[in-house]
């Protein structure tokens, strides 16, 4: 029997005035709600996969200052992923021991970095969406989700601003940078409809006030993107046939390779603690 601290008088005193309602497993109640688990995985997977992608840049960015800001965004995203996956279950178990079919991130975030323009196109399109989402999610009826979103929304506002600045700088820079930026946007454009998809799981959570209906801000989003592209003197790409399926585990070929790298240690040494 280990020696445990004695329960002192003042602790008893405090216990008397502490809240006397709620349930004993309320802190983990969400874990038993498959829809909430699914939603937290979508949010966490988006953040983790993009964070992993951005960290590939570390040490190789076009300038030292850019290296620092990409690492910073990656760090924020990994923090958000840790929080959201923690709401869905054991965050490390989820990050390192799921295969492709169980990942629920969107296609946009798993796209390769490409050149710096493609990385920034992806970041701009995603962070703008994520910012609008978190901003609303901070009002979720699920307190835990609301708290994570409220904390992260400030970080994401900065990601959005930084990415938009680069889109403008590259779009209205040299001929080469404008061409590359347009190509980066063109690469990503077919993945936008997935961000606004409303499937049954999501609809049910929207009805309960837990999730945000992304369609509620789609017009705002298109407008915000258009405004930045106009300032960047870039044409809004024409609509492309939507690529869907990420939320149901149907991904691009790129995700498997990303996971192979990311998960290699815990998978090679399943008994090890790090």
For binding to other proteins (CB under 8 A), which residues are involved?
48, 52, 55-56, 58-69, 71-72, 74-75, 78-79, 81-82, 85, 91-92, 95-96, 115-116, 155, 158, 162, 168-170, 172-174, 176-177, 180, 261-262, 264-266, 269, 271-274
Q: How many CB atoms lie within 10 A of CB 196?
A: 16
Q: Which is nearer to other proteins, 101 or 265 (CB)?
A: 265
Q: Which is nearer to other proteins, 78 or 212 (CB)?
A: 78
Q: Which is nearer to other proteins, 90 or 236 (CB)?
A: 90
The minimum distance between CB 157 and other proteins, in angstroms, equals 12
The minimum distance between CB 128 and other proteins, in angstroms, equals 18
Q: Which is nearer to other proteins, 139 or 256 (CB)?
A: 256
The minimum distance between CB 211 and other proteins, in angstroms, equals 24
Closest by alpha carbon to 125, among 9, 218, 59, 258?
218
Q: Which is nearer to other proteins, 178 or 244 (CB)?
A: 178
- List, as one string, the DSSP characters of the chain: --------HHHHHHHHHS---S-TTGGGGGGG-HHHHHHHHHHHHHHHHHHHHHHTTTT-SSSHHHHHHHHHHHHHHHHHHHHHHHHHS-HHHHHHS--GGG----HHHHS---SHHHHHHHHHHHHHHHHHHHHHHTT-SSHHHHHHHHHHHHHHHHHHHHHHHHHHHHHTS-HHHHHHHHHHHHHHHTTHHHHT---HHHHHHHHTTSS--GGGGHHHHHHHHHHHHHHTT-PPPPP------GGGT---THHHHHHHHHTHHHHHSTT---
Q: Which is nearer to other proteins, 27 or 265 (CB)?
A: 265
Q: Which is nearer to other proteins, 62 or 139 (CB)?
A: 62
The minimum distance between CB 55 and other proteins, in angstroms, equals 5
The minimum distance between CB 236 and other proteins, in angstroms, equals 20
The minimum distance between CB 243 and other proteins, in angstroms, equals 25
The minimum distance between CB 259 and other proteins, in angstroms, equals 11
Measure the CA–CA gap between 169 and 269, rounded to whole angstroms: 45
């Amino acid at each position: 029997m280990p020696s445990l601290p004695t329960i002192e008088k003042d602790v008893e005193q405090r216990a008397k005035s502490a809240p006397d309602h709620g349930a004993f497993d309320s802190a983990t109640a969400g874990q038993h709600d498959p829809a909430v688990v699914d939603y937290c995985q979508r949010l966490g997977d988006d953040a983790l996969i993009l964070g992993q992608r951005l960290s590939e840049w570390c040490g190789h960015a076009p300038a030292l200052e850019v290296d620092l800001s990409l690492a910073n965004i990656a760090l924020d995203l990994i923090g958000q992923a840790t929080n959201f996956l923690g709401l869905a279950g054991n965050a490390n178990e989820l990050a390192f021991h799921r295969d492709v079919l169980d990942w629920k991130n969107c296609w946009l975030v798993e796209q390769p970095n490409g050149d710096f323009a493609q990385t920034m196109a992806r970041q701009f399109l995603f962070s703008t969406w994520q910012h609008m989402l978190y901003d609303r999610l901070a009002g979720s009826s699920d307190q835990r989700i609301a708290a994570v979103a409220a904390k992260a929304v400030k970080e994401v506002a900065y990601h959005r601003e930084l990415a938009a600045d680069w889109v403008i700088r590259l779009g209205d820079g040299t001929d080469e940078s404008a061409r590359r930026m347009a190509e980066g946007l063109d690469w990503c454009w077919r993945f936008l409809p997935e961000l606004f998809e409303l499937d049954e799981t999501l609809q049910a959570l929207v009805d309960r006030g837990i999730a945000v209906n992304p369609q509620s801000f789609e017009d705002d989003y298109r407008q915000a993107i258009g405004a930045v592209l106009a300032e960047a003197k870039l044409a809004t790409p024409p609509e492309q046939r939507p690529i869907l399926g990420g939320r149901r585990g149907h991904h691009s070929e790129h995700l498997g390779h990303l996971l192979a790298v990311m998960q290699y240690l815990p998978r090679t040494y399943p008994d090890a603690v790090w």
